[in-house]
Amino acid sequence: MSKSPESPARRGRLRIAAAALAASLCGALAQAQPATDEAAWAALQDGAIVLFRHANAPGGGDPSGLKIGDCSTQRNLDDAGRDQARRIGERFRERRVPVGAVWTSQWCRTRDTAALAFPGQPRDEPKFNSFFGDAVRRETQTAQAKALLSRWRGPGVLVVTTHQVNITALTGVYPGSGEGVVLRPKGDGVEVVGRLPP
């Protein structure tokens, strides 16, 4: 027995239902990522910490002959990186995040990121200097940085601008340029709460 063809009205109703289902799924997926970001932003209260990888600075590592305090010997922010750093600060001000302190490594690209995002607030903290290519310093310096972070209780949020190698050693997260990793002190260390995309 042959199957009777579907009516145009039934086909139309099926298309509308399929389109509605697809729109609903797309909407749910679009909302899923911001919810994660929102949880990280919501965690930025007194006693929280956010580690930012410096903003965009083309290349990798540093030229040989790097000298702290001499930006001409280092890899530095480009125009996109400077814009990215300013946007970090704007997002914090728009959301009224209470910034209690801003620490930065002594590299020019981290100092510049901090100064553009949070003018007048940064202070050098050598425990967050890059140890890229220097495995001997990695373990000791990471332990010292973790001890500093574990003691932070506020008031406000501690912002640290540092390097990918430092953040990965402290958290296991490999952040992009300008990305933040939100932490909270836990025992004698820290735990990851979420991430702030660049």
What are the residues whose beta carbons fall under 8 Å from the beta carbon of 6, sequence distance 6 or more? 14
Q: Does residue 161 have a pLDDT over 80?
A: yes
In terms of pTM, does the model score above 0.85? no
Give the tokens for residue 57.
């600075």
Nearest Cα to Cα of residue 177 among 45, 47, 80, 62: 80
Which residues are paired to 182 by β-bridges? 50, 194
Quick one: average pLDDT of 66-70?
92
Q: Is the dihedral of CA 117, 190, 48, 31 positive or negative?
A: positive
Cα–Cα–Cα angle for 138, 140, 142, rounded to 5 degrees = 65
Q: How confident is the model at residue 177 (pLDDT cuts 50, 70, 90)?
A: very high
Domain boundaries, the chain: 44-57+70-196
Task: Please provide the average confidence, as pLDDT, over all residues in the chain.
Answer: 85
Cα end-to-end span (Å), the chain: 62
Q: What is the CATH number of domain 44-57+70-196?
A: 3.40.50.1240
Is residue 61 very low, low, confident or very high in pLDDT (cuts 50, 70, 90)? confident
